Structure formats: C-alpha cells, structure tokens
A = this chain, B = another copy of it.
C-alpha cells in the first residue's frame, strides 16, 4: 500500500465521520473503502431507534456492493477515541473477511495500525453453512 493512498483513505474516513448518526452513543465512526479499481466509498455509523445499528465499515461496503463493486484493497476506520486505534467490531470483522486486504485502524492524531482482514479474524470461518454445497 502506497503511503499517499493510505493518507487519502484516512482523511476520507475522518470526513465521513461527520455524517455519523449516533445520538445514542455519541461515538461517531467513519470509514473509507478502496475498491480494486480505485473507487473509494465512505461510510459512517448509523444508530437505530432500537437495538441495532449499522457500523461505518458495513455502510461503506453496502454502498460499494450496491454500485457493483465486490473486490476491495483497503479500508480506513476513524473515530474520536484517542487512547487506542479504533478497530472493527466482531460482526464487521466477519463482513470484511474473505479475500485478504488491509484494514487501517487510526487514532485522531492520524497514527494508525494496519492489519490484514484475516489477521483480525484468526481461524476465520470460511465454510459457509448456507452454501448449497455444505448441505450434503
């Protein structure tokens, strides 16, 4: 990964945070997803009036896939949390899993930790229970 594109992704993930709809948690998160063809999609967390919410990472992926993109190279994630980099939650790690691409987890001071999607879900579950071929 080129440092210039990493910086661009981080910067876009920071901007995406401003649309976060998180009046319950007051914990805005932004994400910027780089597709294989170079297109970048951004996302923010969207909290629901009830128990569930959509994470920034999921929003970015949903936007990309609904526009026809299914191969990704990297995603940057930003929050206002200063002590640790913001890392994807368990459900998001499952969404990101498959392929093996870069997750750039940042702090507000723009420092970051980069890990592969597979490293974030060690021994990740590849066999799909809903896959027709799993049903024999």
Contact = CB atoms under 8 A, between A and B. Distances in A.
Interface of A: 16, 19, 21-22, 24-27, 42-44, 46-55, 58-59, 61-63, 65-68, 70, 81, 83-95, 97-98, 105, 113, 115, 119-132, 134-135
Copies in the complex: 4
B94 A128 contact: no
Nearest to A64: B46
Contact of A129 (B27, B62, B65, B66): B27
Contacts of A53: 51
Nearest to A22: B129
Given A63-B63, A94-B49, A122-B115, A26 B135 contact: yes
